[in-house]
Structure 1
Amino acid sequence: VVTLVVYFGEIATKTVGDLADLSNVSFPSFVAPLSTLFTWDSMIIILPVSIIVALVGLIESLLTLSVLDEMGGERGSGNKECIALGVGNSTSGLFGGMAGCAMIGQSVINFTSGGLGRLSSFTAAVLLIILVVSFSGVIAAIPVAVLVGIMFMVSIGTFEFSSVKRLKHMPKSDAFVLITVTIITVLEDLAVAVIAGIIISALVFAWEHAKIFARTSTDAEGKKVYELDGPLFFASVTSFNEQFDVENDPSEVIIDFKKARVMDSSGAEAIDGLTEKYKQAGKKLTLRHLSEDCKGMLKTAGPFCSYEEDDPTYKVAANV
């Protein structure tokens, strides 16, 4: 309706035809790849861009699949989606076409309109190429404002407004990641946003798990027992060292790692350092429930380890 009003009313506004020349659009034909594309100089230019485009396409397609799975109560095949996307884009490139991927907005509208099978996607593709080839003049007359309005309506229809309400109840770290990824997606692109989100989430995970706790008790023989709970790795070394009172501890101390786990070489080095402190203080130290792999990584604390039947069997990540 708006297009007709603009056309017959001769209203001066920017149209699709002003953005792109659609006068010579024809059915695509096979285009053989140029041999110059396979040179090293060309690959240096092509590969970075192609990798980003591929990541964006894969991520958005898998996100779309996840949304549709949730709406339909079924589970699609991510592997098939990725393979189909690669084959389709490779074939499209041989005919001079641009790369594409699944779109959340269009897919949700298609789903809610009852298009649940392959026929709906096939019909959409056929109609799209017919419109572009045979009715390019009509498309060129569509005002850009109309397309903007359509995209706004698609965004409103696909945006999950309940997620805004959940911001108040979700952890601050999750809310920060959500907002950051959204902003980066708008300012940069989806690939950069996802990578940034993964890095931030990993840092948040490390920070939240960078704490180790110790419960203290005294056994019948008067020995002080530290029962550790939590992971011991590079981020929790400081917390680990803060649990012990070497100066005021009795002459015999037991550190029990039954509920703890040494994750990397930094944790093993922290145990060595603590052992050295007790040794310098002239106190007897016993380390219990360390895995065989962890004991093998200890440099000075090995002789202080006990060997029991219920010792754990986990592996420790070593520095390469």
Structure 2
Amino acid sequence: MFNLISKKTGYSIKNDVLSGLTVALALVPEAVAFAFVARVDPLVGLYAAFMVGLITSIFGGRPGMISGATGAMAVVMVALVAEHGVQYLFAAVLLTGVIQMLAGVFKLGMFIRMVPYPVMLGFVNGLAIVIFLAQLGQFKIVDEAGMHQWMQGTTLYWMIGMVALTMLIIHFLPKLTRVIPASLAAILIVTGLVIGLDIPIPNVIDYVRSESGNPNATIAAGLPTFAIPSVPFDLATLKIILPYSLILAAVGLIESLLTMTLIDEITETRGNGNRECLGQGLANFTNGFFGGMGGCAMIGQSMINIKSGGRGRLSGISAAIALLLFILVGSSWIEMVPLAALVGLMFMVVLGTFEWASLRMITKVQKSEIFIIVLVSGITVIADLAIAVVIGVIVSALVFAWKGAKRIFAESHVDENGSKVYLLSGPVFFGSIQNFQDIFSPRTDPEDVIVDFLNARVYDHSAIEALDSLAERYERNGKKLHYRHLSPECKQLLTKAGDLVELNLIEDPDYKVADSTLG
């Protein structure tokens, strides 16, 4: 069922375990950072990264994809935590899990396949920019007054140097050997150099303490414990948490399913969107009972995993277990890892995630597609991923409707009976009805007119109304109008022009019309 080990080429236990260890190292500062964004204790973020990562790796629909606490969901949680406290957050995360599991049960994951390619490009580019901007915060230190200031002097130069060294190792080591993932080797080498040479740059524990304001803060802790959220289970609580849960569920599923689609393309395999909905939902449901802030797929860590050779479920499981071991027994080692190594790793993720080909497409594709890519990327950076994708899909649909509206046309001729025949081609729907109506000239046409829909289709109620309206225009001018080759449903829906439809049971097409009247 779980396919932890696969015999397919590219899968191996060694690659999955080592890749998982690399991912776990990168997960620590990310989980802590997102916990601070949500204004909760760092352990709430670390526990979430462990539980979400473990459960989705086992039960999710995309082997090799890494999930954990994410910024996209953290920003939604801020207002809830500030106004009602962390216990309401746990209740909201629990309800989020239920909603996501229902999405899987009703097979809503398949709809992510309908996201247009320009929206996907905008999503990927936007997240790459977000990841890049998030790393810039690591170049700040806390001064004596407790204010964040940009690094200067020797500290800045060493930081830049170690970041560059990390990136160079990750880039060139695979050309020499693939025995150990380049990302893991880079972290170990740079950590050894910083400790051995006593280089004055901040490490993981420096970051945790500066962000928390607690000079004694640590990532060491015990196992997460079961506890029912301390909130009244009544309608008042539901009224508070439901809006947040709906948004969290939507953001989580959109980011997870789009990340899954990206990994599908990179690995040339196919994940199961509905199963991913169930896995994400189960993970968040569990978080609600074990003190985690919930989460979803992480494109940055997923890319690290894939680039490091992780392909199977074991890679995600290894990352989650390694993260738990860091919390339980290995915190003193992980706290020594310099931020420069992790920043360099994430910069390489940015370079690998951004679709540079989209820049070369500017002069080769339609302007509407470039606009959608830029729009989705921009909204992802300045607002929210879910909003960006929804707006991108809406704009894409409108562009498609506009293009479809211009594809309707007609060829006309006078037949042997003296009737003018319009042979219509193209879709008749809400976007094309104006162009449809402009085709006809009721005042100048002859006494008998035939509109032939052999090469056209009527799609919705707006189109039906346009057919009725056209019939009225010809009737006012004392002309006879006939509709030919319409489907039975069209005739059923036409209230004023129904008697004008010529029936031909052999030639007439049979297709459905989107209209609430028919149920």
TM-score by length of 2: 0.57
Match of 1:251 in 2: 447
C-alpha separation between the residues in 2 aligned to 1:292 and 1:11?
75
Task: Tell me which of 190, 209, 212 is aligned to 2:385.
Answer: 190
> 1:142-182, CA deviations, whole angstroms, 9 ceiling, x for partnerless residues?
66565444322221122221222123322222222221111
Aligned to 2:459: 263
**Contact 1:209–1:231 (CA under 8 A) maintained in structure 2:** yes
- 1:77 and 1:264 mapped to 2: Cα distance? 32
Contact kept, 8 Å, 2:419 with 2:448, in 1: the verdict is yes
* Aligned mate of 1:82, from 277, 283, 292: 277
Q: Does 1:311 align with 2:500?
A: no
Give the letter aligned to residue 240 of structure 1: F
Q: In structure 2, do the counterparts of structure 1 residues 267 and 10 end up closer, same or farther at CA, with 3 Å as the change threshold?
A: closer
Q: Does 1:152 align with 2:311?
A: no
Q: CA deviation at 1:227?
A: 0.7
Aligned counterpart for 1:131 among listed residues 323, 326, 347: 326
Identify the match of residue 227 of structure 1 among 401, 420, 423.
423
Indicate the residue corresponding to 1:281 in structure 2.
Answer: 477
Shift of 1:8: 3.5
Do the aligned partners of 2:194 and 2:338 also contact (CA within 8 Å) in 1?
Answer: no
Listed as ranges, the gaps of 5+ residues in structure 2 are 1-189
Find the residue that maps to 1:177 and give its secondary structure.
helix
The separation in 1 between residues aligned to 2:337 and 2:240, in whole angstroms, is: 35
What CA distance in whole angstroms lies between the structure 2 residues aligned with 1:24 and 1:311?
Answer: 72
Whichever residue aligns with residue 215 of structure 1, its letter is E
**Superposed displacement of residue 243, structure 1:** 0.3
Cα distance in 1 for residues equivalent to 2:261 and 2:488: 42
Query: 1:296 corresponds to which residue?
Result: 492
1:176 counterpart letter in structure 2: F
Per the TM alignment, residue 26 of structure 1 is displaced from its structure 2 partner at its CA by 0.9
- State the distance in 2 between where 1:40 and 1:140 align: 44
Taking the TM superposition and a 5 Å limit, the aligned residue runs for 1:9-24 are 9-10=199-200, 15-20=207-212, 22-23=217-218
Q: CA deviation at 1:231?
A: 1.7
Q: CA deviation at 1:225?
A: 0.7
Preserved CA contact (<8 Å) 1:62 1:78:
yes
- Specify the alignment match of 1:50 in structure 2: 245
Q: Deviations over 1:291-315 (max 9, x none)?
A: 2221122222222221112112223
Query: Residue in 1 aligned with 2:289?
Result: 94
1:269 positional shift:
1.9
The 1-side partners of 2:208 and 2:219 are apart by: 14
Relative distance call for 1:40 and 1:317 in structure 2 (3 A) is: same
Structure 2 residue aligned with 1:36, among 226, 231, 238? Answer: 231
After superposition, the C-alpha distances for 1:84-127 in whole angstroms (9 at most, x for unaligned) are 22222222332212212222222222222222222222221111
Determine the C-alpha separation between the residues in 1 that align with 2:349 and 2:196. 22
* Partner in structure 1 of residue 146 of structure 2: none
The answer to whether structure 1 residue 164 and structure 2 residue 329 are counterparts is no
Amino acid across the alignment from 1:58:
L
Please tell me the residue identity of whatever aligns with 1:237: I
Q: Residue 215 of structure 1: CA displacement?
A: 0.7
Q: Which residue of 1 aligns with 2:298?
A: 103
Q: Distance in 2 between matches of 1:12 and 1:122?
A: 29
Preserved contact between residue 256 and residue 287 of structure 1 (Cα < 8 Å): yes
Which piece of structure 1 moves more, 204-213 or 5-14?
Answer: 5-14
| 1:271-307 alpha-carbon deviations (Å, 9 max, x no partner) | 2222222222222222111222211222222222211
State whether residues 28 and 95 of structure 1, in contact with CA within 8 Å, keep that contact through their aligned partners in structure 2. no
CA offset at residue 264 of structure 1?
Answer: 2.0
Q: 1:74 to 1:216 in 2, by over 3 A?
A: same
1:231 aligned partner, one-letter code: P
CA distance in 2, matches of 1:240, 1:178: 31
Secondary structure of 1:96's match?
coil
Change in CA separation of 1:51 and 1:146 when aligned onto 2, cut-off 3 Å: farther
Structure 1 counterpart of 2:515, one-letter code: A
Larger RCO, structures 1/2 (Cα 8 Å, 6+ apart): 2
Corresponding residue for 1:177?
Answer: 372
Q: TM-score normalised to the size of structure 1? A: 0.89
Q: Name the % identity.
A: 47
Q: Is the 8 A contact 2:223 2:328 kept in 1?
A: no
Is 2:237 aligned against 1:237? no
Task: Give the aligned residue type for 1:44.
Answer: K
Deviation (angstroms), 1:198: 1.7
Q: Deviations over 1:47-77 (max 9, x none)?
A: 2222222222222222232222222222222
Aligned residues: 320
Which range moved further: 297-306 or 135-144? 135-144
Q: Deviations over 1:26-53 (max 9, x none)?
A: 1233232235252323223322222222
1:214 positional shift = 1.0
What amino acid is aligned across from residue 299 of structure 2 in structure 1?
Answer: I
Distance 2:250 2:360 in 1: 30
Gap change, CA 1:298 and 1:6, over 3 Å in 2: farther
SS at match of 1:250: coil
Distance 1:145 1:307, change over 3 A: same
Deviates more, 1:2-11 or 1:223-232: 2-11
Task: Quote the Cα distance in structure 2 between the aligned partners of 1:275 and 1:95.
Answer: 66
Give the counterpart letter for 1:45 in structure 2.
I
Which has the greater radius of gyration? 1
One-letter code aligned to 1:48: P
- Residue 405 of structure 2 aligns to a residue whose secondary structure is coil
Residues 80 and 231 of structure 1, relative CA distance in 2, 3 Å threshold: same
Q: Deviations over 1:188-231 (max 9, x none)?
A: 22111111112112211221212321111111222211011122
